[in-house]
Every structure is written in structure tokens, then in C-alpha cells.
Structure 1
Amino acid sequence: MRPTYLTLCAVSLIGSSLFAADTATKPAKPKAAKPEASKPAAPKLPTPTQANVSYGTHERQVLDFWQAKSDQPTPVVFNIHGGGWMNGDKGRVSNVDKYLAKGISVVSINYRYVSQAHEAGIMPPVKAPLEDAARALQFIRSKAAEWNLDKERIGATGGSAGACSSLWLAFHNDLADPKSSDPIAHESTRLWCAAVAGAQTTLDPQQMKEWTPNSRYGGHAFGFLAKAGDPKQRDSQFNLFLADRERVLPWIQEYSPYANVTVDDSPVYLTYSTPPALGQDQKDPTHTSNFGVKLQEKCQEVGVPCELVYPGAPNVKHPQIDDYLIEKLKAPSAK
């Protein structure tokens, strides 16, 4: 099986080179220097058709747009970057040239971080990045005529937190408000499909502990923030989150993808870098494929198509995210 198109570490940067540590030398007996091992840099992104387009008033509410050449309205890949909703940038987007060559336009968005939302008094803080994604999606649809886009065929993608955001859009009820005085708010927030990497499929700490005992993610999304976002405080944040679960349960149910799955939802594709081991500690509990197994079970229960990919997974039809998105977004219309 070919590797997925994203590395699943939430702090990796698309387009940068990763260098191995320098070889240590002893002062008394110098050793010959070894060449640095490196991975080839990802291809440079093409210049956006439009860059830093504002979809809101905050400095982070901007997006880049690459327009595919076509006489007909084009489908759209809607990219939401990862970074734990705490960092990252819209430059984390892959396969732009490949999508454009297939007649698919691409959008990549920035959004407010949970730390910024916390400082602004928005509760829960995850409300800001998730609802920013919904607003950006509505904005794109409002530009359909001007940018030659197919309003229906929009597929969301992203890694880690961006994957969670994409799944939230895929499963949440439509946030369109036809009574709003803002015409952008009239647009739908529903998706044609979603294809994601390393997704956290639930934000419920109790579910996370049941699926993966050493889980420690998600407290920051609901206001359990250590000072300056100190990563060493993640475990204590999670313990507070778990202890206070009942109080924040309505928020969890609103913003957790798993809690929003219903029969009318769009098909989804999930990919992970390691096989699942339900009920066991994981080396990377934040991106474990245990998340994918449990979401696929839920989707199968209600009848939502869900393809799950990991090393050794059965019934893999699309080895990579771009394979899935291109097939789904370019599929012939049903007669």
C-alpha cells in the first residue's frame, strides 16, 4: 500500500525538509562527518488565483483559492490545516497541481486558534475554528458564480485537527440561516464528501479513554488550557477535562464528529499511519486508528459510507486521499 499524502504529526509542515540529527563526535578522536539524511522537499505550491481572501473580520479568517480551468463549474477540494487548532497555516495543502489537472479547484483556509478564542471569551474555544470552517465554506459557495464553482461538489480534507474539523462539517446539521440579513449565511454548510488523515473522531474524553487508555487530547478545545499552552500540561488538562465532562457534555455533543453522525450524512474516508489496537495504550494516542475503527462502526450502524485505511486494512479501494477525492468529486451525476 502506498503511504498517505499527509504525515500525521500535528506539528509537521507541508513543504519543509526534515533533517536527521547530526552525528555526535568525540573531541579526542574526531570522526569523519556523515552527510545529513534528508527527505525531498514537497513540490512548491502553485501561485494561488487569489490569495489571503477575507471571509471574516479577524486576521486569521482568510483563505487561498486556486481555480481550475474549465468551461463548466468545477468541484472544490476544501483544505483545513492541522496543528491542534493551536498553530499551523493554510500553506499545509497537498496535491494542488494534481487536483487542478483533474478540473478540481482548491481552497485552503486559515481560522482562529482556540487560544485566540479563549482570550476573546469564546466558549468553548473550539467553537471558533469549527464555525470559522463553516463560514469559509459558506463564503466559497457565495462565490460560486464568480469563481466558476460547483456548489454541490465540495470535499473537505485535512490532517489531525483539520481532519476533525472536516468530519464535523460532514456530520453536523446544515448551519444555513435563510432568514439572516447576511446573504453568505444563506449558503449550506453540508459537504459532498470528506477525506482526512489522523482524525480525532470524538472529542468526548470518556470515549477516548475507553478506546485508547492513554488518551490525552482535547481539553484545550473546551477551555482547559495551561498557561502559554505548555505541552507538558497536556495530561493535567485532559484529567481536568475528564473530571468535568458532565458540565461540558452539551458542548462535546455539539462539536464532536462522532456525536453528530446521522443517516443523511456525506461519505467519508479516513486514513491512519498505524494499525488499530482498541483498548490498548498507543504510541501516538492523538492520531490512533482506534478513532477510525470506532467511527466506521458508527457510520456502518446508520448507513453512512466510511472507508478506513491503515497498514494492513481490509477492503481498501483508495490508497490515498487524493484518489478518493478525485473519484468522488468527478463521479458522473446520478440520472
Structure 2
Amino acid sequence: MAPAVLPAQNVAERLINRMKSDDKNGDGKLTQAEFTGPDRLFQQLDEDGDGVLVLAEAAQKLKMLRERIGEIRDLNAGNTDARPQRMVPRQRTPIISGVGRRQVKPDYENVRYSDHERHVFDVYAAKTEGSEPAPCMIWIHGGGFRRGDKSEGSLFSTNFTSNGIHFVTLNYRLSQHAIAPACFDDCARALQFIRLNAEKWNIDKSRIAVGGGSAGAGLAQWIGYNDDRADPSAVDPVARESTRVSALILLNAQTSYDYRWIKTHIPGEAWKGDGLQELFGYQVEKVDDLSEEKHRLIEEYSPINHFTKDDPPSLFYFRRSRDPSIAEKNPMDGIHHPIFGLELKKLADEMNVRCDVFSVESPTDLAFYNRRWDHAIGFLKERFEMK
């Protein structure tokens, strides 16, 4: 009888071949627009939410998952008495289709922080001893401001909750719903709403960090580097709450959304990105005709323009090399290039604010990137003064 692993491997090979055929320009990467498979599978394989699948990495993940499933099936087909008892509960563990990580259900789901259908967040409660309020990490999903969902946070929420840190992941209006500043305002309000209601989830409102991947990282920075939006005289109690945070955790981030800044600092054509055009409502062919008002809007919502010496420390993790030539070869590598973080680090170093930028230059660096949550949580525990 053929080993049970073979059918699973065939499924993986079919998916890999499908992705290869989707790669029409042969650059070894796929955007979601190029990917012909299910949107959910793309989002699950896109671990860092930067809107790009590296085919070699995605293929390896699929193969590993299918081999694992095949081994479990093979084990189930044999003598159950011979199975190690520790394997039994693993068969009942919910596994997301397409990736070998558990999807955890939030403790509080779709908590509404304003009126739009996208104005919701999920809370994953920390595992703590005693009743003292615990610190919180707020995660903002990526997707080029045009797609994405808070559910991506479920894939790594336990990294935080198992270490005594509450984890909140939120949705915000996308560009097709409303252009900037809508998504920025949404994320700031979500933070204020969480602070106002912190007691409901046993959150220590004085120890809150924010972070995100790609677009979410930019939204997090804008909150973290901006002046406090608290308005003590506001009629709305949410608006009275502070937007200052303790730290920033950022994956494949942009530090500016100004096409002029990007054109100056990032080689290639990243500055022409569709996501930027849709975020601010302009056409790249007509940038020479943009009004002063539109330019002021772009400048206002570019995080690097707000960085000051009293801002929180930032950790930048990039899944790319610092080599500028990769940005010339592929705009998607350009819009997620470490240069964004390195330019902000120059300001941070001048102001003596901690800003660490990690990129992938070697297999050792890639191994570190894959263990980024361990590093980030150690950093947060230090910031939160946790034991």
C-alpha cells in the first residue's frame, strides 16, 4: 500500500505549480493580484502581511504542512495502541488550511469601537497569575490599505498572551471605503477606545505598545510618533484618552508615504505604488498637478515627519536585504526595503531614541527573522518592566 504521505505531497505540488504559473513575470514573487488561489490562503502564507509571497518560502511552508498531515494520517492508519499518547491531542488541534499554525479564537470578538462595519477589534487575553492588569500589544494588519483583516493576528497571538501580554488586533477602513486620513483616524480611535474600556479586559492602560506589518506598521508609527491626540475638553469620552504608547514593533514598514521622499531615497519605481495612489486619492501620471492641499495631506500622514526625541523606541524587522539593487529589480521589494527603517534610524540616533533595524543579509539573519517574536517579546517585557 502506498504511504499516506504521497497524496498530501501531490496536493502541495499542485499548489506550488499553480503559484509558479501565476508568476507571469518570473520574479519569484506573487502579489495578491497575481495569485489565483483563495484570498485566505494567500493571507495565511503571507506571514508578515507585506502583500507579497516569496515563492520559494511559500512552497517550503506548503511542503512542510503536507508532510506533517501525511505523517499524522499514516500514524492514524496504524496500530493506535502504538501511538504516543502525546500525539492524540495534536490531532484535535485546529489547523488553518494551508499553513501549520493554530488559529486561536479571541476571548472577545468583534468589539465595536465606532460606526463603520470595519470598526471592530478582537481581544486575546493574556495568561497571567493574579488579578493585576497586564500590558497590551495592539496589532494593525497590513495589505496595502486595500485588503487584509484582523484575523491575521490570531496566527501569532499566543506568542504574546503566553508571556503575560494581552493582544488586540483591529480592523480599519480601507482605501475603497475612504481615503486618508480615515484609516489613521480609525486606528488612533481604536487605541483610545481600548484605553477608555481597559478595565473590561484587565488591560494596564499605561503599558500599551502598537505594531503592524507593512501598511499596519505605517499606521502604528503614525500613532507612535505623533503628538498626543487626547482632548480633555471633548464631549466624547473616547477622544479624551491618550494616544501615546510605550513601544513600536514593525514588520516590513514604510516610514514615509510621500512619493517624493520615496523617489529620492528608494531606488526603482516603488514611489509609483498603487497602494499610495489609492490611499491619498491621486494618479501617478498627474503628480505634477497635485495641489498644495494634497501634498500637505501626504506630508501629514507620513510618519517620519512626526518623529521627535520624546517618541517611543522602535524595532524594525525587514525580510529583505539592505542591498539597494533589489529595489530596482522589483517595486514590491522597494516599498518594503530596509532603507525606510534605516533613514528613520538616522533621526533616532541623532535624538538618542532607541531604534533597531534588522534585515536579512544571511541565513543567520533569516533564522533571526523567523524568531522575531521571541526577540520582540523580550524587548516588550523590558519596556513594560515585567519580571
What TM-score, normalized by structure 1, do the two folds share?
0.79
* Fraction of identical pairs, as percent: 33
Q: Which has the higher contact order (CA 8 A, sep 6+)?
A: 1
Quote the Cα distance in structure 2 between the aligned partners of 1:75 and 1:281: 41
Does residue 132 of the first structure (1) align with residue 186 of the second (2)?
A: yes
Of the three residues 280, 302, 313, the one matched with 2:351 is 302
1:48 matched residue in structure 2: 106
1:79 matched residue in structure 2: 139
**Going by fraction, where is helix more abundant, 1 or 2?**
2
- Residues 321/238 of structure 1: CA separation in 2 closer, same or farther (3 Å cut): farther
Quote the Cα distance in structure 1 between the aligned partners of 2:249 and 2:337: 16
Q: Which runs of 5+ in 2 are unaligned?
A: 1-28, 33-41, 48-52, 66-98
Kindly state the Cα deviation for residue 164 of structure 1 after the two structures are TM-superposed. 0.7
- Residues 20/86 of structure 1: CA separation in 2 closer, same or farther (3 Å cut): closer
Quote the Cα distance in structure 2 between the aligned partners of 1:134 and 1:271: 23
- Residues 157/212 of structure 1: CA separation in 2 closer, same or farther (3 Å cut): same
Task: Write the mapping of 1:115-154 to structure 2, written as runs, cut at 5 A.
Answer: 115-117=176-178, 125-154=179-208
2:124 matched residue in structure 1: 66
Of the three residues 166, 172, 177, the one matched with 1:111 is 172
Question: Contact 2:127–2:163 (CA<8 Å) still a contact in 1?
Answer: no
Of the three residues 214, 227, 230, the one matched with 1:160 is 214
Question: Contact 1:205–1:245 (CA<8 Å) still a contact in 2?
Answer: no
1:216-244 deviation digits (Å, cap 9, x = unpaired): 231221112xxxxxxxxxxxx33434652
- Residues 172/286 of structure 1: CA separation in 2 closer, same or farther (3 Å cut): same
Kindly state the Cα deviation for residue 302 of structure 1 after the two structures are TM-superposed. 2.3
Q: Which runs of 5+ in 1 are unaligned?
A: 1-7, 22-35, 118-124, 225-236
Question: Contact 2:322–2:361 (CA<8 Å) still a contact in 1?
Answer: no
1:88 matched residue in structure 2: 148
Task: Write the mapping of 1:262-273 to structure 2, written as runs, cut at 5 A.
Answer: 262-273=308-319
Kindly state the Cα deviation for residue 274 of structure 1 after the two structures are TM-superposed. 1.6
Kindly state the Cα deviation for residue 246 of structure 1 after the two structures are TM-superposed. 4.2
Question: Contact 1:134–1:189 (CA<8 Å) still a contact in 2?
Answer: yes
Question: Contact 1:253–1:260 (CA<8 Å) still a contact in 2?
Answer: no
Aligned CA-pair RMSD: 2.8
1:175 matched residue in structure 2: 229
1:219 matched residue in structure 2: 277
Deviates most, 197-206 or 294-303 = 294-303
1:99-142 deviation digits (Å, cap 9, x = unpaired): 1111111101011111111xxxxxxx121111111011111111
What letter is aligned with 1:102?
Answer: N
- The alignment partner of 2:152 has SS state of coil
Kindly state the Cα deviation for residue 197 of structure 1 after the two structures are TM-superposed. 0.9
- Residues 15/37 of structure 1: CA separation in 2 closer, same or farther (3 Å cut): closer
Quote the Cα distance in structure 1 between the aligned partners of 2:100 and 2:45: 5
Kindly state the Cα deviation for residue 179 of structure 1 after the two structures are TM-superposed. 0.6
Deviates most, 203-212 or 214-223 = 214-223
- Residues 10/80 of structure 1: CA separation in 2 closer, same or farther (3 Å cut): farther
1:170-189 deviation digits (Å, cap 9, x = unpaired): 10111111111111111111
Question: Contact 1:195–1:321 (CA<8 Å) still a contact in 2?
Answer: no
Quote the Cα distance in structure 1 between the aligned partners of 2:62 and 2:204: 44
What letter is aligned with 2:175?
Answer: V
Of the three residues 320, 326, 330, the one matched with 2:377 is 326
Does residue 13 of the first structure (1) align with residue 60 of the second (2)?
A: no
What TM-score, normalized by structure 2, do the two folds share?
0.69
1:259 matched residue in structure 2: 305
Kindly state the Cα deviation for residue 278 of structure 1 after the two structures are TM-superposed. 4.6
Question: Contact 1:10–1:82 (CA<8 Å) still a contact in 2?
Answer: no
Question: Contact 1:63–1:108 (CA<8 Å) still a contact in 2?
Answer: yes
Quote the Cα distance in structure 1 between the aligned partners of 2:352 and 2:186: 28
Question: Contact 1:114–1:220 (CA<8 Å) still a contact in 2?
Answer: yes
1:102 matched residue in structure 2: 163
Question: Contact 2:137–2:165 (CA<8 Å) still a contact in 1?
Answer: yes
What letter is aligned with 1:268?
Answer: S
What letter is aligned with 1:132?
Answer: D
Corresponding pairs, count:
291
Q: Tell me which structure has the larger Cα radius of gyration.
A: 2
- The alignment partner of 2:110 has SS state of strand
Kindly state the Cα deviation for residue 309 of structure 1 after the two structures are TM-superposed. 0.5
